[in-house]
Homo-oligomer: A and B are copies of this chain.
Amino acid sequence: MSPLVSEIRHNPLLWLLALVPVVLVAQAFKPEAHTLLFVLSVAAIVPLAALLSRATESVAARTGDTIGGLLNATLGNLTELLIALAALRAGQYVLVKASIAGAIVTNALFMLGASFLLGGFSHRVQEYNRNTARLQAGLLFLATIAMLVPSVLAENDATRTTVAVTQTLSMGLSVLLIVTYGLGLLFSLKTHREFFASANHAESAEAKWPLTLALATLAGVTVLVAAVSEVFVESVQQAATALGMSPAFVGFIIVPLVGGAAEMVSAFSAARKDRLDLSVGIALGSAVQIALFVAPVIVLLSYVMVRRRWICSSGGARWR
């Protein structure tokens, strides 16, 4: 237990963990204080997300390169996935879409750009592995095109395209993106890893946690993030109105900043230490993961959820 305690003691960001029980208690006793719950839950997700990515990395470091790489690649944006799932279950489709788009943009533009800026202040010229950046920019470009296809089709053939065609197309493209993501991982982590050498996350000099602690933290924190995300999603609509923000703004700006705060700290500090490879790897890697893994998973799950709800409720036309 001591590595976790020492980690919390040395990282002021993690002191916000104290807010987690406060949120859950407040939700139980004052469910109508939406603005308070919103602010508290946003503040509580920051340290949970940080702890989650720390635990994922520790498990990854202990389980060998292949399984570890896979774990990092699938659970690295677990916070974003859990928030989007909570919003999806609550029928907040605007929030889902905005948080996915916002996470990609925040990672690929804001985190990367700010890393270049911060790095450029202290170092005149910085180098990074071109292969990593090219592969990931290529994957992002592919995902962008895949995301545009359904809307372009819908625009051109409004009369001819039925909802069913769009559904089939969206599901097909989602599966294609996930498969491409898997092949990209295989290519960069396994078969041609020497081309992507220095973008390795495992370079981080942090003390490794024992496997049991890491797994327990991973499980426990996942449950806590899911619970706090529920509170967040329930309170967001009325709180956003009260604070003068639209749900799209909350999804596009607040959720990505909250979910990615810990990663930003790492990317910025790496850029300042002239380890720009690490910054590029974190920022682009995270954007690629959301575009080619989290977003398609959400699309696939949304159809599963919609179908189940359709069957359960006799009057399915109520929502949508």
Contacts and interface: CB of A to CB of B under 8 A. Distances in A.
Contacts of A125: 192
Contacts of A124: 191-192
Interface string A108-131: 000000000000000011000000
Interface in A90-140: 124-125
A249 B260 CA distance: 45
Query: In which size bucket is the chain A interface?
Result: under 10
Interface in A151-189: none
Main secondary structure of the interface of A (DSSP, over half): loop
A124 B192 CA distance: 8
A124 B191 CA distance: 8
A191 B124 CA distance: 8
A124 B194 CA distance: 12
A236 to B, nearest CB: 22
A282 B9 CA distance: 59
A98 to B, nearest CB: 16
A191 B125 CA distance: 10
Interface in A184-213: 191-192
A175 to B, nearest CB: 18
A263 to B, nearest CB: 26
Interface string A262-299: 00000000000000000000000000000000000000
Contacts of A192: 124-125
Contacts of A191: 124
A125 B192 CA distance: 9
A124 B125 CA distance: 33
A182 to B, nearest CB: 15
Nearest to A191: B124
Nearest to A187: B120
A261 B124 CA distance: 38
A124 B190 CA distance: 12
A189 to B, nearest CB: 15
A124 B187 CA distance: 11
3 contacts: A124-B191, A124-B192, A125-B192
Closest 3 CB pairs of A and B: A124-B192, A124-B191, A125-B192
